[in-house]
Structures are given as structure tokens and as C-alpha cells.
Amino acid sequence: MTETIILFLLALMILGSLIALESKDILSSVIAMGAVGFMLSAIFLILRAPDIAMVQVVIEILTLIILIRATISRDVHTVTDTRDFLPLALNMVLLFVFFIIAAEAIRNMPDFGTGLSKVAGHYLNRGLNDTGSANIVTSVILDYRAYDTLGEATVLFAALIGAITILRRKAKND
Amino acid sequence: MIYTLCMALFFIGLYGICCKKNLIKIVLGFIIMDYAVNLFIILIGYRKNGIAPILDKTMDVKKFALSSVDPMPQAMVLTAIVIGLAVTALLVALCVRIYERYGTFDITKIRKLRG
């Protein structure tokens, strides 16, 4: 039953992303993108990942705001057709090679719903005693792998500083 | 089957990056690839009929460890989603600047770059 719902939502996601990429109007493709993100959030909820579902909803709203801010009142002439023939053909060859490699990798995956990493048992058994957190995801990101979270914050602020620097009106003359 | 559909989603994003002319469409393709990879990692950590990795007061820890889904991919994806937002903001900022400079989102018309 769970699998059926996930398959249905995934098919809807694929449909939504195709609409987003092929739509003639930029604003409607951005809105289709938002639909895809909220469906992804629903899939996370079904897969028993409530933390991720909440974060995904917030992030999706922020992404929509950023994209709409960037595209609104700028869409004077829409660019619809794809690229020239030669680069397109090269890209298609690249996509095909990538497809073969990915299909081979998917064929060797363990079945859906069976694989758990070795370290997961350790975290689940001892997470409460080691860290005192009832939510094991929190204990992983804030205690066992806190350096990873620190690095993530570093990347986040570096990217935001980059965005602010690019968008600044004019350079300060010190 | 689910993995295959996830891969299809990834390829749609890759197609958008490779074959589209519009800069905003390329950014959308990047976001789709981001979603597909996050979803794939969460799918790997799923256990059939599992429960969320959150302990209850009445729950036994041993029984909980045998029935919960994998918390590791969830923690990794939580950070990856936030980084994805920051990278998207950076890309959109670049697109806005390019639009102000050249007046178009078409990548084949941006030909005035000098090294």
C-alpha cells in the first residue's frame, strides 16, 4: 500500500517536472516546480521522515519566493526552443552513457525497504542513553555528526555571502 | 520500480540542464536533480512497515531499534536540503545579474564575455 502511494506521487512529480521544463510561460513553470516540491514533502512524510518533510515545506516556500522574485516582471520575451543541433546531439550521447551506468547501478541495488546501514543499529540502540534526545535524527546531526552540521553551516553562509555580494548594487570604496 | 522512477526524475533534471536555452529552466533542472537525489537517499533508508525514528516514553529501546527506519540518511538529507536552498539562491542571483547586464535569459545570446 505504501509503495503504491509512493509510486503514484512519484509519477505525479515526474509529470510536474516535465510541465515545469516544457511550459512556455516562466511563471507557470515556477509554480509547477512548487507543486513538485510539496509532493516530495508528502513522500517524505509517508517514508516516516517527519523532520525532513517539515524542512522540505519551509525550503520549498523559500525557493518559490526566490524564483518568483527573480522571474516576475522580467519575462519580456520567452525563450522556448532547445539548443542547436550539434551541442544537443552531444548532450544526448552524454545522457545515454549516463543512463546505461545508472541502470546498471539500479539493478544491483538491494530491494526496496530492506537495507539499513550498519551504523543505524548503533545509533538506534544507544542514541537515547548517549545523547538524551528522544529524536534520533536530532541526536545524529547535533551530537554524533556535529562537525558535519558545522561544515554545512559554513557552506550555507559562504553561499549566502556569495549571493549578497553578487546582488549588491555597487562596490564600496574603502 | 521506485528506484527506477527516482532515476527517471534525475534524468529529467539532467535533460533540463543539458538541453534548455533559458537560464531559469536550467536552474529548475538543477532543483529537480537535487530533489531526486534527496529522495533516493531517503528511499534507501526505508524499512518496510517501519516507524519514525522518534522514541516514545512507553517504548522499549530494543523493540524500537528493530522497527525504526534508518536515521542516518535522514540526518544527512536534512543538511543537504538546506545547502540546496543556498546554492539555488546563489544561482538565481547570478541569473538576475546576467539579465541586468544582457537583457535576456537566453544563453545563446550571451556572447559578450571577455576573458
Q: What is the ipTM for the molecules in this complex?
A: 0.89
- Torsions phi, psi of A108, nearest 5? -95, 10
What are the tens digits of pLDDT across the range A70-127? 887 776 556 656 666 777 788 888 888 988 998 888 888 877 777 677 788 888 888 8
Q: Cβ separation of B82 and A152 shorter than 8 Å?
A: yes
In a domain, B115, yes or no: no
Which residues 3-62 of B are in CB contact (within 8 Å) with A?
3-16, 18-22, 24-25, 27-29, 31-32, 35, 38-39, 42-48, 50-56, 61-62
| A150-161 burial code (b ≥16 CB/10 A, e <16) | eebeeebeebee
Closest listed residue to residue A35, CA positions, set A53, A16, A21: A16
Q: Is B108 on the interface with A (CB under 8 A)?
A: yes
Q: Residues, chain A, total? A: 174
User: Could you count the other beta carbons within 10 Å of the beta carbon of residue A13?
Assistant: 27
What distance in Å separates the CA atoms of residue B17 and residue B33, rounded to the nearest whole number? Answer: 9
In a domain, B18, yes or no: yes
What are the tens digits of pLDDT across the range B44-76? 888 888 888 888 888 788 888 888 888 888 998
Closest listed residue to residue A36, CA positions, set A56, A66, A51: A56
In a domain, B87, yes or no: yes
What DSSP state is assigned to residue B5? H
Q: Cβ separation of B53 and A136 shorter than 8 Å?
A: yes
Nearest-CA distance from A81 to chain B in Å? Answer: 7
Q: What are the grid coordinates assigned to A160, written together?
A: 549566502
Looking at residue B66, which CATH number applies to its domain? 1.10.287.3510
Mutate to test the interface with A, among B7, B12, B57, B91 (most CBs of A within 10 A): B12
What distance in Å separates the CA atoms of residue A145 and residue A3, rounded to the nearest whole number? Answer: 31
In a domain, B114, yes or no: no
Closest listed residue to residue B39, CA positions, set A79, A112, A132, A76: A112
